[in-house]
Structure 1
């Protein structure tokens, strides 16, 4: 169970072995409707895949998205997952092996690793950790690796441009975290550790970034307060 921020961390947040060990519990309690979003993303992903299609999961962490897709697929797929935390990928491999599923897991920086030509790319709560100056380059890289009529499915924490409403949404979200069992101390310490590490864009900023990369269509697939999922189409 996630107890990382019951102590007083002296560093910025990072996806180290300590976080990897509690990651599944952390995200399920920190991201509203996390499991439902995974299911939704998997269902829409499979609508755009056929036998032997290639799917790329960026920031795959402990492999939850890959397992969700592989468990629902009724035909063979070429699954790839990239993450820069080896400890996360070890857990992902153990999960896949337990379910007798196969995927190509790559440990590396998604800004540097070559992407396979893909039919669908997924990035759930990943872009928000990429520095703004590098984020547009990454989205362009995703666009370039997609086959014609390829699909990009992305989930992100989002900010609201109306400052007062943004504040109210954040407070509502923090209250939701308390309902999940986090203390005020844990919530405050995690926010402090994530300062300048997680940098959210607004829904409009995300939409503009996708369109500027060349994508032809951006639709909101799911939204809860300050979290959103988008389905982005390559024309």
Structure 2
């Protein structure tokens, strides 16, 4: 399936809050590859983690699945019988594209697509849950409740992969990480106008937090173990075990 180039913010405009609408769905593969450092490393490692942590006759959740990249990776690497992958997103446009992608690749593990907020998703008999750059779009005061709901529905030994854009508590270092990320985007062809307007669009929608804040909240939510396994600039991925 061919993908369009992300030019959403290439011209001067009145910038609205970022939204996962049809326009974003059309260019999302290009957008995330050019905007999120380490994205392919996270997906590759998710496959390895699926081989290790998926449990027979359990559910695997991809919460905020977007176009289904994590879903497909887990489906490809799941070796356990009786599993179902439940992929959730509140954007109908993203799920429509996800369904097309999933149907293009055969797999033994069935996939259920659900159009709903992840906070309304009932987590049951889960051996794995993925929140790949998803929690950051939930209001901070609602994040502990969302994670607690996930932890309560997970089996013992179950794994959560949580990837987030982060904020360093040291203001100077935070600025360094932001500058490095902007240079990453420049290297991938984004203009100064695109970088500036995208940042404005996300300002009120994506609220970032420190790594320590994330790890502490994972413990409060009911996970026994939590740690960072990967970071590239101000993008971070954590693992938590029930």
TM-score > 0.5, shorter chain as reference: yes
Shift of residue 148, structure 1, vs aligned partner? 1.8
**Per-residue CA distance 1:199-222 (angstroms, 9 max, x = gap):** 111000000110111211111111
| Partner of residue 195, structure 2 | 187
Aligned: 1:41 with 2:49? no
Aligned: 1:197 with 2:205? yes
Distance of 1:10 and 1:104 partners within structure 2: 35
Distance of 2:56 and 2:141 partners within structure 1: 37
SS at match of 1:6: coil
| Partner of residue 22, structure 1 | 27
Distance of 2:55 and 2:142 partners within structure 1: 32
Runs of 4+ in 1 over 4 A off after TM superposition: none
**Preserved CA contact (<8 Å) 1:16 1:87:** yes
**Per-residue CA distance 1:61-94 (angstroms, 9 max, x = gap):** 0000011121223344311100000111111111
| Partner of residue 112, structure 2 | 104
**Preserved CA contact (<8 Å) 2:62 2:88:** yes
SS at match of 2:240: strand
Aligned: 1:81 with 2:87? yes
Distance of 2:156 and 2:172 partners within structure 1: 41
| Partner of residue 92, structure 1 | 98
**Per-residue CA distance 1:153-190 (angstroms, 9 max, x = gap):** 11111110111111111011101110011000000000
Aligned: 1:60 with 2:68? no
| Partner of residue 37, structure 2 | 32
Q: CA RMSD in A?
A: 1.3
Would you say how many aligned residue pairs link Structure 1 and Structure 2? Answer: 234
